[in-house]
Amino acid sequence: MSAGAALRRKRPAGRATYRDVLEAPRHMVAEIVAGALHLQPRPAGRHTLAGSTLGVEIGGPFQSGRGGPGGWWILDEPELHFGEDILVPDLAGWRRERMPTVPDDAWFTLAPDWVCEILSPSTRKFDLEEKRPIYARQGIGHLWLVDPSARTLEAFALHEGAWSPTGSASDAEPVSFPPFDAITFPLDALWP
């Protein structure tokens, strides 16, 4: 298996636990889905740039209220604990009316209102097939999928337990999708 490929390891004596996450190598992102520990290498440069820039684009208007309505917490790579499942989306946002302050814990048990996954060849299948259904099950209202290789963004809203498209953009097209449709930014801001 190449260094860039996602690794999956089942705990020999049973289901993976938070101890497995804590003991994962520091250069890996550790997540647990359906009892299996999933380890992925830290994101590559284009992946990190897309996520960081997206955080800047929506963070100013929505977290700080500069040029937008405010009222959100936007966080990079928060650790989400949903029962036995532990997920680390690239970005997540909580409306402050639901989470007035950011907790001191190293993880969050309150489902965010929005998550964003930056797709890469090594995580695409895991993000789409394993994490996306958990986000729906947890009632997360909005999901964005950013693909730096294809230079695309797809936005979805949760309706009756299923994801419905709310918009898509590619290359330099303008982005103004729920829940952040109070602003517009060019998608090519995310690409080098």
Q: 11: pLDDT confidence band, cut at 50, 70 and 90? A: very low
Q: CATH number for the domain including 135?
A: 3.90.1570.10
158 lies in some domain: yes
28-33 contacts at long range (C-beta below 8 A, 24 or more positions apart): 29/77, 29/88, 30/86, 30/88, 31/86, 31/87, 31/88, 31/131, 32/84, 32/85, 32/86, 33/85, 33/87, 33/126, 33/130, 33/131, 33/134
Counted domains in the chain: 1
In a domain, 18, yes or no: no
Q: What is the pLDDT of residue 147?
A: 97
Residue 39, domain member (yes or no): no
- Cβ atoms of 62 and 181 within 8 Å: the answer is no
Range of the domain at 93: 44-190
What is residue 13's predicted lDDT score, i.e. its pLDDT?
Answer: 56
Q: What is the pLDDT of residues 108-164, one digit of tens each?
A: 999 999 999 999 998 999 999 999 999 999 999 999 999 999 999 999 999 999 999
Q: What is the pLDDT of residues 42-65, one digit of tens each?
A: 889 999 999 999 999 999 999 999
pTM of the model: 0.91
Does a structural domain hold residue 36? no
